[in-house]
Amino acid sequence: MIPALMPTYNRADLAFERGEGAWLYTVDGRRFLDFGAGIATSSLGHNNPHLVSAIAQQAARVIHVSNLYRIPQAEKLAQRLVAASFADSAFFCNSGAEANEGMIKMIRRAQAKGGHPERVRIICFNGAFHGRTLATLAATGNAKYLDGFGPVVEGFDHVPMNNMNAVRAAITAETAGIMIEPVQGESGINLADPRFLRELRTACDEYGLFLGMDEVQCGMGRTGKLFAHEWSGIAPDVMSTAKGIAGGFPMGAILAVENVARHLTPGSHGTTFGGNPLACTAANAVLDVILAPGFLEQVQARGALLSKEFDRLVAEYPDIFASHRGIGLMIGLQCTAPVGVVQDAAMHEGLLSVTAGGNVLRLVPPLTITEADCRTAGEMLSRAAQRARAHMAAAAETVA
Ligand SMILES: Cc1ncc(COP(=O)(O)O)c(C=O)c1O
């Protein structure tokens, strides 16, 4: 019989009842170091006093009003995001897929209203993940995720990342824009080369295309800059972000330059929940922490500390870990052993992680992670490597 909760996930048999900092506690009293952070979402960890009290106080005042009225919390959040980024204007929604869906619409609409209604196609990249709605699935272009869901939404062309010849060859008179994750998360922490991002910017300017960035996972401080594209020195025309933006409260955002944003006139796009007082209060509380002087430098320093731990792990356990890559606190451990075995072993040692494509263990701890917790994670992964080794030796013996 089908469970009451639809079986769309392969869930680990763990149920958490509370968290504190980077630690989660199960209903049966076990504790885990959370290097998954709800898939790069619990940016301030668990039970962060500033976030919790902001949400509690706002909930007691007013949780939701419609976008038919002014929402001061949203106005404040938009002003802060605009002041801290390339953007001139922000639209708030509820998830990453919804932000990307809106970004796609904005790119098409800005072309249409700018005199090019024929420009509807968007160039995307192999290995991308943009979400689970019909258009974002088409932008993702992964056959596994599209299977059984009928006609694929038209208008997305896929090329390999970091290959400018392929991008230029894919540009046609119908191309409206280019959409890229500066750091691909789901497919295994694959970084777009900063030079490639600069060349994309040049090509967009040359052909009158809009450059869209999907910073749903890599944005909001995750890489040690507020937005990952900042590392390349260029800016997009429009960008989506979500996940960590409100520390685990569901929220997404689209940030855009005026030339894109001005075409979203009343009635052209909308959402019931997007940017409501509670969500925006949560996001403002997260920004208080992320934009505090020194915080992003601290994210970079924690990333560097973890990088040292992973150098050691790769040297000591080459049969388990092949290499590591990433930026800030968005890290992929390329495994030699099957990643499922490594993830299970880590969980047995008390460390939560997320897998990614290409046999990669994804480590995306809260941005507030302490030095001590980084070292503990390194120790847990050493023990996990030994456990995985033993597991594989036992499995090989059984086969023999
Ligand atoms: C880069 C990227 N874009 C979009 C999404 C979709 O976001 P959501 O699951 O909030 O719809 C994700 C989710 O993992 C993501 O990593």
Please spell the DSSP secondary structure of 228-296, one letter per residue: GGGGGT---SEEEE-GGGGBTB--EEEEE-HHHHTT--TTSS--SSTT-HHHHHHHHHHHHHHTSTTHH
Question: What 8-state DSSP symbol labels residue 172?
Answer: -
Is 48:36 a contact under the CB 8 Å cutoff? no
- Per-residue confidence (pLDDT) for residue 396, from 0 to 100: 87
Question: What 8-state DSSP symbol labels residue 21?
Answer: B
Residue type, 214: D
- Per-residue confidence (pLDDT) for residue 283, from 0 to 100: 98
Question: Partners of 29 in the beta sheet?
Answer: none
Distance CA(400)–CA(384), nearest Å, equals: 24
Q: Ligand 1 center to residue 219 CA distance, Å? A: 11
Transcribe 191-227 into DSSP letters. EPPHHHHHHHHHHHHHHTPEEEEEETTTTTTTTSSSS
> Could you say which residues of the chain have pLDDT below 50?
none
- Residue 330, C-beta contacts closer than 8 angstroms, at least 6 positions apart: 40, 183, 185, 189, 217, 218, 222, 223, 364
- Per-residue confidence (pLDDT) for residue 399, from 0 to 100: 80
- Residue 232, C-beta contacts closer than 8 angstroms, at least 6 positions apart: 182, 192, 194, 195, 197, 198
- Per-residue confidence (pLDDT) for residue 226, from 0 to 100: 98
Length of the chain: 400
For atom 8 of ligand 1, the residue with the nearest CA is: 96
What is the location of CATH 3.90.1150.10 in the chain?
16-34+295-399
Give CA torsion, residues 301, 83, 202, 101, to 10 deg. Answer: 90
Q: Ligand 1 center to residue 240 CA distance, Å? A: 10
For ligand 1, whether the C-beta of 95 sits within 6 Å is yes
For ligand 1, whether the C-beta of 73 sits within 6 Å is no
CATH class entry, domain 16-34+295-399: alpha beta
Tell me: is residue 16 an annotated ligand-binding position. Answer: no
For ligand 1, whether the C-beta of 81 sits within 6 Å is no
Question: Partners of 18 in the beta sheet?
Answer: 25
Q: Which helix (H) or strand (E) holds 52?
A: helix 49-61
Q: Ligand 1 center to residue 241 CA distance, Å? A: 9
Q: Which of 322, 327, 328, 326 is nearest to 342 (CA)?
A: 322
Distance CA(342)–CA(355), nearest Å, equals: 10
Question: Partners of 130 in the beta sheet?
Answer: none
Q: Which of 257, 209, 259, 198 is nearest to 231 (CA)?
A: 198
Looking at domain 49-290, which CATH architecture does it have? 3-Layer(aba) Sandwich (3.40)
The residue written with tokens 């939560």 in the block is: 352
Q: Ligand 1 center to residue 382 CA distance, Å? A: 30
Question: Partners of 363 in the beta sheet?
Answer: 331
- Residue 315, C-beta contacts closer than 8 angstroms, at least 6 positions apart: none
> Which of 41, 180, 216 has the most ligand 1 atoms within 8 A of CB, as the residue to mutate?
216
Ligand 1 atom index nearest CA of 250 = 10
What is the location of CATH 3.40.640.10 in the chain?
49-290
- Per-residue confidence (pLDDT) for residue 255, from 0 to 100: 98
> Which of 129, 271, 330 has the most ligand 1 atoms within 8 A of CB, as the residue to mutate?
129
Ligand 1 atom index nearest CA of 100 = 4
- Per-residue confidence (pLDDT) for residue 212, from 0 to 100: 98
Tell me: is residue 272 an annotated ligand-binding position. Answer: yes
For ligand 1, whether the C-beta of 214 sits within 6 Å is yes
For ligand 1, whether the C-beta of 186 sits within 6 Å is yes
Ligand 1 atom index nearest CA of 131 = 6
For residue 232 the two structure tokens come to 């390349």
Q: Ligand 1 center to residue 302 CA distance, Å? A: 24
Tell me: is residue 202 an annotated ligand-binding position. Answer: no
Q: Ligand 1 center to residue 270 CA distance, Å? A: 19
Long-range contacts, 290-297 (Cβ 8 Å, 24+): 290/43, 290/220, 290/221, 290/226, 290/367, 291/80, 291/84, 291/226, 295/221, 295/367, 296/221, 296/224, 296/225, 296/226, 297/224
Q: Ligand 1 center to residue 364 CA distance, Å? A: 14
Tell me: is residue 153 an annotated ligand-binding position. Answer: no
Within 13 Å, how many C-alpha atoms sit on residue 385's CB side? 22
Tell me: is residue 215 an annotated ligand-binding position. Answer: yes
Q: Ligand 1 center to residue 135 CA distance, Å? A: 13
For ligand 1, whether the C-beta of 94 sits within 6 Å is no
